[in-house]
Structure 1
Amino acid sequence: MSNPQQGLPPRSSSGKKPVKKQKAKKKRSFLKSFMVFVLFLLIVGLVAGGLYAYYIGRQVEAVLDTGIDKEVPKTELAEAKPLTMLLLGTDYRPEHQTYLSDVVMIATLNPNTKSATLVSLPRDTKMELDGYHPRKLNEYYPIFKSREKSSGISAEDEMKTMISKYMNIDIDYVSAINFQGFRDIVDELGGVNVTVDKNMCYRDSADGTNINLTAGDKHLSGDEALDFVRYRKSNCSPRTAPSDDFDRNKRQNQVLRSLIDQMQSFGGIAKLGNVIKAVDNNLTTDIESQQMKNMLSTYWNISKDEVKYRPVGGTWRSPYVYINEDELDEARQALRDEEAGVSAPSTESGTASAEPTEKP
């Protein structure tokens, strides 16, 4: 990875002034935890209705009574307009304290169609964008993190600005959850059921990685589910077959759908409080509490079948993924179509060629 202290060239002017980080003190509350809950509901496409909605809604009302509220104009609420969110999954966990954004997704939700389109970009995408130094997509977030104090701009806002420009769409909100939060969600829901597509073995004593999964239908813990979505290559004897960013995207979608099924069950709903508490310190977001409440009421009945996945493919030439420009344009258009309420099919995975040669 490039030196995180290395500066980035000034971005070309967009006509907007960067938003400075607020210095006002914020008391620690359940609001941050609630953000995890809303993110999970809306982006994964959780279906909650009838008594479930009533049960959760009562808990939500209590949560929203705490924390800091910011007024949102009625015309900007989720019920009144489509919203686009940037979703980041970072590799930070207690034993590996870095912030590589190994999951980068853009989601547009439309209140009129009660549907969403979710685009995922390969983490190793070579970003070549005016105003930014060329590098891997997942390296920008930690660099922005290292510059927060000097720039006065949050890393999340920097990522939102950059990805808005790259995808040619206005992004309203950004949320970043780390690997520890992912682990905790899976564990609090009692694990996930997936089909492991191949034997997976990789060990790295430097960060404690010990991936050892066998092919077949499995019930995975949080640690195992993280291994499942992260696996890239093997250093074991005998070696197991490698994966690439596109295989990882498929597995991420499989885990997300399994988590939906877990949350749809009464047992999953009953564990909701523990899920919220478990990821209290693992999420950063800029969604206002009023907006979250409105999202909740607007998207209670969204179906997971109405969440359309659009992974973008490309070609692997170490150390980068070179994006398929046609697929990227199709993904951009899919987000615009979602915003406009135009129906578009989901795609299971992007195309890919060649295989990776670096560790998970």
Structure 2
Amino acid sequence: MGKHYAPRSRSRSRVAPRGRTSSVGRIVEPSPRLRAHKQNRNRAIKRAVLVAVIAVALLVVGVAAYAFFTVRSIDKTIKAGVGSNSQTVAALTKPVPKQPFTILLMGSDARPKEEAARADTIIVARVDPQTKQVAMLSIPRDTRVEIPGHGISKINAANFYGGAEGGPALMIKTVEGFLGIKINHYMEVNFVGFQKAVDALGGVWIDVDTTIDDPKAASHSPHLRAQHIDKGYQLLTGEYALTYVRSRAFPDADFTRMKHQQTFFKALAEQSSRIENLPKLPAIAREVANYTATDMSVGEMIDIIMAIKGIKATDLQTATITGTWKSPYVWTDEEEKARLVAAFTAGRAFDATSTADVPLVPSTISITVRNGAGEEGVASSASSILRAAGFTIGEVGNANQFVYDKTLVVYKDDANKAAADLVASKLPTGNVVASRGMYEFTSDVLVVVGKDWKAAVAGTSSTQ
């Protein structure tokens, strides 16, 4: 039997009013018994906060990931269509622990009497748990590709050609061949799950950049009531949000649609993290569970999210594989694809503009300061100088060993090299070096104050 999305026995299109019990548990307002027992109440609060943190982090990767974090039964629901011995799992490449990994994210347009769905949305995400950065590369669904065993076709047909059991496996192989990268994980959510996630959140505020009137994109909507969306800032329910991310009624068709999808996911991530929305997140997980398929278990996803839990919305990069429309395909710009894939795999910014051409603002650079000299007050001295220069100072403490003769300004990757140079320019001494995995820190830059610090400060003071 193939993968399927089991219907719910009872549809819920509305979130329980504030102050009442939700369908997942009493998380909005504790019961009298819980209020009477402080210990139980605190334990319930901690559980709710943990679920919220996990769910918010996953939104950055994609709305489907909401399905993984409430109760173990949800795990069984999600995994029903993707067994541990399936072709899908066999097609994936096992990720290296603590190293960047990729996830193939798909939104499917399952149609009546079809055992397999075409992929309406195709995104490859790269998550780096060390730098806490996520990159999302969108592929137009009409992209002309070679599908193994089926010849030339549109890339979104790979899921359909593979059949109900092997569809995702064929899509994985097709994407790997097209981009020249390995896929480590897979996740698919259908249109029903998408709508339910948005409605469980209470809608998503979007600044719609152009009026949309598209009956094809609103085929999911009863009587096509969601076919028209006015331009402007507005709250989109699940029905209208799906029209927004599906519509291709633009001069450039898929490319504006993919820009809308990227805009939507960023807004979803930002708005879900607001404190008033945290109680809704477990309900979202339950709503999406029945409409999601993935190779990942709850435990695996928890490990991933704990590794990237500090991720910020600004750490999410998006880009689209561009090309030229020549009916019936999008013919890929191979040179641009090569540039984007190179940046994607290296963890660099997609923007072709050199970071050296973009002015850096100190307040946007976070810094960890550690005393590597073993001399009292040097870390505090360095942090004071940097704070006065406008930088954001995080942790200030001691290094593991007091063996540093020279002060170091450490950056993790090329994206933070310019920031490290700016930090070093504001210090009386400092050698800029790459971390290369030798230093652990979560900020943009790490400053390790060495034994040369006091002399350098004294020298600076004497020249002023």
Output the TM-score relative to the length of structure 2: 0.54
Contact 1:78 1:111 in 2 (8 A): no
Question: Which one of 156, 161, 172 corresponds to residue 143 of structure 1?
Answer: 161
Aligned to 1:9: none
TM-fit CA distance, 1:290: 3.0
- Residues of 1 paired with 2:257 and 2:186: CA distance? 22
Deviations 1:265-306 (A, max 9, x none): 122211011101111211100013332121021011011111
- The aligned counterpart of 2:185 is 173
1:1-360 to structure 2, matched below 5 A, reads 41-42=57-58, 44=60, 60=69, 63=72, 67=76, 80-92=98-110, 99-128=117-146, 131-146=149-164, 148=165, 154-203=166-215, 207=219, 210=224, 211-233=227-249, 242=251, 244-338=253-347, 343-346=348-351
In structure 2, relative to structure 1, the CA distance for the partners of 1:60 and 1:218 (3 Å cut) is closer
Question: How has the CA–CA distance of structure 1 residues 280 and 230 changed in structure 2, closer, same or farther, with 3 Å as cutoff?
Answer: same
Distance 1:203 1:344, change over 3 A: closer
1:228 and 1:42 mapped to 2: Cα distance? 21
Partner Cα separation in structure 2 for residue 166 and residue 158 of structure 1? 12
SS in 1 for 2:210: coil
Question: Mind listing any 5+ residue stretches in structure 2 that lack a counterpart?
Answer: 4-23, 25-52, 85-93, 354-464
Letter in 2 for 1:227: T
2:161 alignment partner AA: I
Of 78-87 and 160-169, deviating more is 78-87
Q: TM-score, normalised by structure 1?
A: 0.69
Counterparts of 2:213 and 2:115 in 1: how far apart (Å)?
A: 23
Distance 2:75 2:252 in 1: 44
Deviation of residue 42 (structure 1)? 3.4
> Percent identical across equivalent pairs?
27
Secondary structure (helix, strand or coil) at the match of 2:349 reads coil
Q: Across the two proteins, how many residue pairs are aligned to each other?
A: 283
Runs of 5+ consecutive residues of structure 1 not aligned to the other structure: 1-20, 23-29, 31-36, 47-55, 71-75, 149-153, 234-240, 349-360
Q: Distance in 1 between matches of 2:107 and 2:271?
A: 21
Classify 1:78/1:182 alpha carbon distance in 2 versus 1 (closer, same or farther; 3 Å).
Answer: farther
CA radius of gyration, larger in: 2
Aligned residues of 1:95 and 1:208 also touching (Cα < 8 A): no
The answer (yes or no) to whether the contact 2:211–2:231 under 8 Å persists in 1 is yes
Deviations 1:185-225 (A, max 9, x none): 11111111112222221335994552111111121111101
Task: Report deviation, 1:45.
Answer: 5.4
Residue 98 of structure 1: how far off its partner (Å): 6.5
Distance in 2, Cα, partners of 1:346 & 1:231? 26
Instruction: State the Cα deviation string for residues 164-187 of structure 1 (Å, max 9, x = none).
Output: 122111111111111111111111
- The one of the two structures with greater contact order (alpha-carbon pairs below 8 A, sep at least 6) is 1
Over the aligned positions, Cα root-mean-square deviation in angstroms equals 3.6
